[in-house]
């Protein structure tokens, strides 16, 4: 009887083909996307406020008067509002065409930077396989959903990719700055910055005594700058808009992935404990990875877990997990161990209709979230226990000497 022991002896090429077939099957989950008649419903909110603000603060304009079809106020940071000033001369349809092209090009850039600049020595496997894997990720539920809604999370991944690249090139302060800009564009990367700073602090004896400080201070400085440049609007956003938005629980659905939402308002301490555990295990794993020269995995994991902390987190936000899945693919090529990768692809890209039973006990949105969290925790443990000298990335200098850190900051 063919068992797991025999499967280990299967050639990597055959396992890759099986993965491809599995990911093609996962494309069926696209049928579960809640497609709206308006293409670009998320960009519509930004687009309509860009047109009706006319020099006023978007946070002080009534959404119904402004024309949002779903009466949604503008609740994005002021830096993001300024970023989309280019949409003012265009209709929503034209803006969506431009934005969709930008998202597709950005996805290709993200792939090339991670495979050729960040983890270029990670795998002896054929590069075309990684390209096929990334292309298949681009037709999975999270990214297609992002294209349908005109989602903006790809910008976060771009800035975080830049932060990772700068870090592995030993530009610690600039890496923190790039991470801080990502947080200023959309607040969820704040969680990733906290995880990475904690990971570097945890392992400062090996990554450098002040590496964590340089990275965290750079992120804080850049994040503060994105607010200070728009001081008046940032004040309104932080004191009025954000607290109200943060108190809002989103529906528990098959396309939701928020720990606080699924736990609910009756047990906030349970949600805090789950979040603390998830972030804590990745601080530990990220620190272990960075200490042995694998900062790419630490950065990818930190970005992935940041998606599950806000009360608003939907499927299109899961594109933040794509760099982690890519690194797991490169690991699978190198080690011929594909189980963790397949688990991750199923958790992130599996058919949502399997869990479309809100009142079920076996298959439900709650079970799907549990599977995703289990994947992230198991991945953290595997990353922490990986062998020394794993060449998945070129990281910050080790040895804990202040001279190394001074060199890396330049």
Q: Which residues are registered as beta bridge partners of 381?
A: none
Express as a percent the part of the chain with pLDDT over 70. Answer: 89
Rounded to whole angstroms, how far apart are CA atoms 27 and 135?
12
Does 263 map to a domain? yes
In 237-394, beta strands by DSSP E: none
> In b/e form, how buried is each residue of 387-409, taking b as 16+ CB within 10 angstroms?
eeebebbbbbbbebeeebbeebb
pLDDT tens digits along 30-85:
988 889 888 999 999 999 999 988 778 999 998 888 888 899 999 899 999 999 99
Please say if the pLDDT value at position 392 is more than 60. no
Count CB atoms within 10 A of the CB of residue 362: 7
Q: Residue 267 — pLDDT band, cuts 50, 70, 90?
A: confident
Express as a percent the part of the chain with pLDDT over 90. Answer: 65
Does 101 map to a domain? no
> According to the model, what pLDDT value does residue 410 have?
38
pLDDT tens digits along 1-16:
445 555 566 788 899 9
Rounded to whole angstroms, how far apart are CA atoms 130 and 144?
19
> According to the model, what pLDDT value does residue 272 have?
93
> According to the model, what pLDDT value does residue 388 have?
45
Closest CA to 121 of 396, 403, 392, 329: 392
Rounded to whole angstroms, how far apart are CA atoms 400 and 404?
7
Does 326 map to a domain? yes
User: What are the φ and ψ backbone dihedral angles of 248, each rounded to 5 degrees?
Assistant: -95, 125
> According to the model, what pLDDT value does residue 401 have?
37
> According to the model, what pLDDT value does residue 2 have?
45
123 within 8 A of 330, measured Cβ to Cβ: yes
Rounded to whole angstroms, how far apart are CA atoms 102 and 98?
6
Q: Residue 406 — pLDDT band, cuts 50, 70, 90?
A: very low
Please say if the pLDDT value at position 357 is more than 70. no
Q: Residue 394 — pLDDT band, cuts 50, 70, 90?
A: very low
Does 325 map to a domain? yes
> In b/e form, how buried is each residue of 219-254, taking b as 16+ CB within 10 angstroms?
bbebbeebbeebeebbebbeeebbeebeeeebebbb
User: What are the φ and ψ backbone dihedral angles of 206, each rounded to 5 degrees?
Assistant: -105, -30
271 within 8 A of 256, measured Cβ to Cβ: no
352 within 8 A of 27, measured Cβ to Cβ: no
Domain count for the chain, please give it: 1
Does 329 map to a domain? yes
Rounded to whole angstroms, how far apart are CA atoms 153 and 257?
15
For residue 342, give its domain range: 19-37+123-409
Judge if pTM exceeds 0.75.
yes
> According to the model, what pLDDT value does residue 8 have?
62
Please say if the pLDDT value at position 389 is more than 50. no
203 within 8 A of 214, measured Cβ to Cβ: no
Residues in Cβ contact with 313 at an 8 Å cutoff, skipping those fewer than 6 apart: 188, 250, 256, 257, 258, 261, 307
Q: Residue 122 — pLDDT band, cuts 50, 70, 90?
A: low
Count CB atoms within 10 A of the CB of residue 71: 11
> According to the model, what pLDDT value does residue 360 have?
58
Q: Residue 149 — pLDDT band, cuts 50, 70, 90?
A: very high
What is the pLDDT of the chain when averaged over all its residues? 88
Please say if the pLDDT value at position 390 is more than 60. no
Closest CA to 59 of 321, 238, 267, 263: 238
Pick from 84-88, 257-261, 353-357 the range whose average pLDDT is largest. 84-88
Q: Residue 92 — pLDDT band, cuts 50, 70, 90?
A: very high
Q: At what angle do helices 322-335 and 92-113 cross, to 10 degrees?
A: 30
Does 53 map to a domain? no
pLDDT tens digits along 204-213:
888 888 999 9
Does 279 map to a domain? yes
410 within 8 A of 173, measured Cβ to Cβ: no
pLDDT higher at 403 or 186: 186
Please say if the pLDDT value at position 408 is more than 50. no
Does 398 map to a domain? yes
pLDDT tens digits along 211-222:
999 999 999 999
Please say if the pLDDT value at position 307 is more than 60. yes
Positive or negative, the Cα torsion across 88, 42, 34, 154?
Answer: positive
């Amino acid at each position: 009887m063919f068992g797991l022991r025999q499967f280990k002896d299967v050639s990597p090429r055959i396992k890759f083909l099986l993965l491809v077939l599995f990911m093609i099957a996962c494309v069926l989950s696209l049928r579960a996307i809640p497609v709206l008649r308006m293409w670009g419903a998320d960009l519509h909110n930004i687009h309509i406020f860009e047109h009706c603000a006319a020099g006023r603060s978007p946070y002080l304009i009534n959404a119904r008067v402004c024309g949002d079809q779903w009466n949604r106020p503008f609740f994005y940071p002021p830096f993001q509002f300024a970023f989309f000033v280019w949409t003012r001369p265009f209709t929503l349809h034209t803006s969506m065409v431009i934005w969709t092209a930008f998202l597709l090009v950005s996805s290709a850039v993200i792939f090339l930077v991670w495979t050729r600049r960040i983890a270029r020595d990670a795998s002896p496997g054929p590069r075309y396989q990684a390209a096929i894997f990334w292309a298949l990720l681009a037709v999975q539920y999270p990214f297609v959903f992002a294209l349908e809604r005109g989602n903006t999370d790809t910008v976060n991944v771009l800035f975080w990719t830049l932060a990772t690249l700068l870090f592995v090139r030993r530009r610690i302060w600039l890496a923190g700055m790039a991470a801080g800009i990502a947080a200023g564009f959309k607040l969820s990367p704040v969680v990733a910055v906290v995880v990475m700073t904690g990971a570097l602090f945890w392992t400062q004896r090996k990554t450098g005594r002040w590496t964590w400080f340089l990275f965290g201070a750079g992120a804080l400085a850049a994040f503060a700058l994105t607010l200070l440049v728009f001081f008046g609007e940032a004040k309104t956003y932080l004191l009025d808009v954000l607290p109200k938005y943060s108190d809002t629980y989103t529906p528990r659905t098959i396309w939701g992935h928020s720990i606080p939402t699924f736990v609910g308002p009756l047990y906030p301490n349970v949600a805090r404990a789950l979040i603390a555990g998830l972030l804590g295990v990745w601080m530990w794993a990220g620190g272990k990875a960075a200490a042995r020269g694998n900062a790419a995995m630490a950065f990818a994991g930190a970005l992935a877990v940041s998606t599950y902390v806000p009360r608003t987190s939907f499927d299109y936000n899961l594109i933040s997990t794509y760099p982690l899945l890519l690194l797991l693919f490169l690991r699978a090529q190198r080690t011929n161990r594909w189980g963790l990768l397949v688990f991750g692809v199923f958790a992130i890209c599996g058919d949502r209709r399997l869990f479309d039973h809100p009142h079920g006990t076996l298959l439900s949105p709650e079970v799907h979230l549990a599977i995703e969290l289990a994947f992230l925790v198991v991945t953290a443990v595997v990353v922490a226990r990986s062998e020394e000298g794993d060449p998945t990335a070129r990281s910050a200098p080790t040895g804990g000497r202040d001279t190394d850190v001074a060199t890396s900051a330049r």
